[in-house]
A and B are shown apart, each in its own frame.
Chain A
Amino acid sequence: MKKRFLSALLLLAVAMPVAAQQYGDPDETPKGAVIKRDENAKPEQRYANMPDEAVPYRRFTKPYYDWFVREDTLQYNGAADQRPNGDPAQLSEIAIGFMSPIENNPESIFGIPELHGAQLAIEEANARGGYKGKPYALKIHNESALWGASSTELVKMLFNENCWAMVGCVDGQNCHIALRVTLKLEVPIVDVGTTDRTVTETRIQWLLHNFPDDRQQGYTLADYVFKTLKLKHIGVLRTQTRYARIGVGEFNAEARRMGRQPILEVKFERGDKDFSHQLRMLRDAKLEGVVIWGEAAEAGLILKQMREMGMKQPVFGSSRIAYPQFLQIAGPAAEGVVLTSALDPTRQDPKWQAFREAYLQKFHEEPIDYAAYAYDGINILIAAIEKAGLNRGRIMDVLRDYQMKTYQGVTGTVYFDHTLNNISPVNFARVKDGKFEYWLAPRQAGHEGAAHTGGQ
């Protein structure tokens, strides 16, 4: 009995330093002690270019199987390409379905610019001659706030309007419904606005997604808050929406895996004006920083009320806050806030500048990220149609070829992983002197694709 006890003690004594070295406080862990890499080895297949700290269960075991890191992730084995091609001579137009929140939906502030971006791209394509002389036409459908109400839109696009593909989506739920329908009906979807990370985690071979998702935003923000600033006690304030619930998930997950689980997560409703109850809770929790996952209007008010209450903590937030409306509402209270941003609108490269000017001229407003990604999405799709012809299976084949490749658009360099999701690094936007200043977030190196995504 005594011997067993001594052996157990000895084992514990030997194991403890190893455990401490591998799994201890990240601040005290020597560099490179968490995961060692062989310099000569092939780049590690790491889904979504995850930072080491975000890898689930990494401290305990290696998964039995990893998805989304292989070339056959979206391998298509169906017969869509064997369907007869559409004959442009028999068509008056080349229909492309479009679905985004346009009316009766609080997310129309993103959906309308998304529509405008798509319309601009269609107009330019038609100015170039359309498809074999036939104009492209957007068939516009509203993404309803009452989700489920939009469930039949893709069905109508195929059977009533003969659409060759669908572009759009802002809300993850509606996009999921369209995705499930298209698994059966086989209509390519170019998702240009969803941040919901799970949309591309289904192995359904009919969707390409270019808007920076919650994983990329969450990892970027978590890296900055916990690794760069080395904060430890964080609180989260988010809207009571699926966007924020799913959105903050990856930030929270990385935080938890680093031993930095947010101390408090409080919620508010879209349209709320008074946040004093939530802010008192956060103030009493003695936090070092606050993360807001929501939209510009509420975030602006939150900042104002926070500072009025004497809360001086640094504030961070998601990309839907990084708009001029936030600066207008928060005023000087916005100073120092750091947000993820899907776009750097101060870029000077010719593609962005040309798009910005054309958009301004047509719509008399500055383009936002949703407009730019929609513009790129339509252009990606039109190039695919022009390469493949009027066959939905072959159009999707061309889109699937973007796997582990880049696309250079007005949004910058977009890099698609094995799930056809854009895993390019996102931007940061910091408020300085009442304006946003942007910089590209650094990414961890060593993974497959990292070199294309700003890995350092």
Chain B
Amino acid sequence: MKSTAKKTLLAVIVLLATTGFAWAQKPHLITRWENYTTASGMPDAKVFCVTVDGSRVWAGTEDGLVLIENGKVAKVFKPEDGLPHRAVMGIAVDKNTGDLWIATFGGVSHFSGGHFENFKNLTSGLLNDICYGIAVVDQYVWVTTTAGVSRYNTYTGEWTNWSEKNAPFHEPWSYGVAPAGDKIYFAIWGGGLLEYDVKGNYWKPYTDPDEEMEMVLFRNQGLVHIIVSNVAWNPDTKMVWASTYFGLSGYDGRNWHNYLTKDSGLASDFINAPKSRRNEVWACTDKGLSMLDYPTNTWVSYRPSQQKGQGEIEITWPNGKKEKLATPTALAHNYILNMDFQGEDIWVATAQGLSHGIREPQKEAQLYANARNHRSPGDLAPSHSQKGD
């Protein structure tokens, strides 16, 4: 009996310690949004992608490439300036040269020294002109096209292509690319996640193990769905994250960790892109921007509130309880297509403009203090470890 009492006491102590830890580890919040819309010089409301290069921010829109510097739209590049197409889907910066590589719906472009050098299907080895994702690793430029993956060697000018003809592509329709050290991950529409080992020159596919489009058989079954919309690599946790229109999947090299709205604080199962660093996993959904603080399983979702101009932060605590906080500014729109990090800030591509999300520690503390005053003690729970079903 004594032993049982001791055990219970110990359990309570552990519980309190972990809840305290969870509270201390509360996720950071974006408390202010600054938006770039057609009113502030963006050439089109729809922003497909955003890439940060130090203090410069590049955005791809439905009507050109945009450079944002010092808090304003500094330059817009259109086909008349040499861009191969007005619809810009992906932007990558070559860290060695500072050059820009751009994926468009009319081929790929290399922007260097103020000039565009364009690569098209008919004039180069590029697989297809419908290009979505782009990444630069060493001297190689990787492009995901609607007909497979193309790689351009900037030293030799040689193109190498992979599709269902020479690699394990269940379908060739490629969407996203994420360099991951010695590996590169690709998001394939209808083909799952593909891992390419650069040194070994071999491919490894990850597909939906239930092989059915209409269901998720088990929660952590493996990749949640075969239609993968984009992919992100977290260099800190060494996890790869795949976004789908059917939820979010993370793989740590051993186990899969899947999230749906039914079991998490994810704003929507329809996810256009993931992004991840440190303990954070971000999901660009059609109903807002969600962030998972992975170790504590706490979710923070951002969306414009019903009240015009105001923003809403929804925190989903590890025990599933939700809490809503209001901010005086909001994301430009709830439909999120892409994002990137700039220090502690974030840049978000939305259907109605580009949003700059800013962290303000003082306001964050205020918001949390207000939330704490309204929360019952039962709202806090220990950080979870996801169970495999």
Q: Which residues of A contact B (CB under 8 A)?
A: 47-48, 56-57, 61, 63-69, 76-80, 82-83, 148, 151-152, 155, 159, 176-177, 180-181, 184-185, 198, 201-204
Contacts and interface: CB of A to CB of B under 8 A. Distances in A.
B333 interface: yes
A44 to B, nearest CB: 14
A303 B173 CA distance: 37
Contact of B213 (A82, A151, A201): A201
Given A148-B146, A185-B87, A65 B260 contact: yes
Given A67-B246, A77-B335, A152 B130 contact: yes
Mostly helix, strand, loop or mixed at chain B's interface?
A: loop
Contact of A184 (B87, B215, B286, B352): B87
A79 B350 CA distance: 9
B335 A78 contact: yes
B26 to A, nearest CB: 28
Contacts of A204: 245
B128 A77 contact: no
B326 to A, nearest CB: 21
Nearest to B215: A63
A198 B190 contact: yes
Nearest to A78: B335
A378 to B, nearest CB: 26
B248 to A, nearest CB: 13
Which range holds the interface residue count of chain B? 35 or more
Contacts of B48: 184
Contacts, number: 110
Given A68-B214, A151-B146, A77 B287 contact: yes
Contact of A181 (B105, B210, B218, B335): B105
Contacts of B262: 65
B135 interface: no
B256 to A, nearest CB: 13
B107 to A, nearest CB: 10
Given A65-B262, A79-B351, A82-B45, 16 more contacts: A61-B217, A63-B215, A63-B216, A64-B216, A64-B217, A64-B219, A65-B216, A65-B260, A68-B213, A77-B268, A78-B351, A83-B45, A177-B130, A181-B130, A202-B227, A204-B245
Contacts of B333: 78-79
A155 B218 contact: no
Contacts of A77: 268, 270, 286-287, 334-335
B284 interface: no
Nearest to B44: A83
B213 A63 contact: no
Nearest to A201: B213
Contacts of A68: 213-214
A64 B87 contact: no
A155 B270 CA distance: 23
Nearest to A419: B214
A141 to B, nearest CB: 15
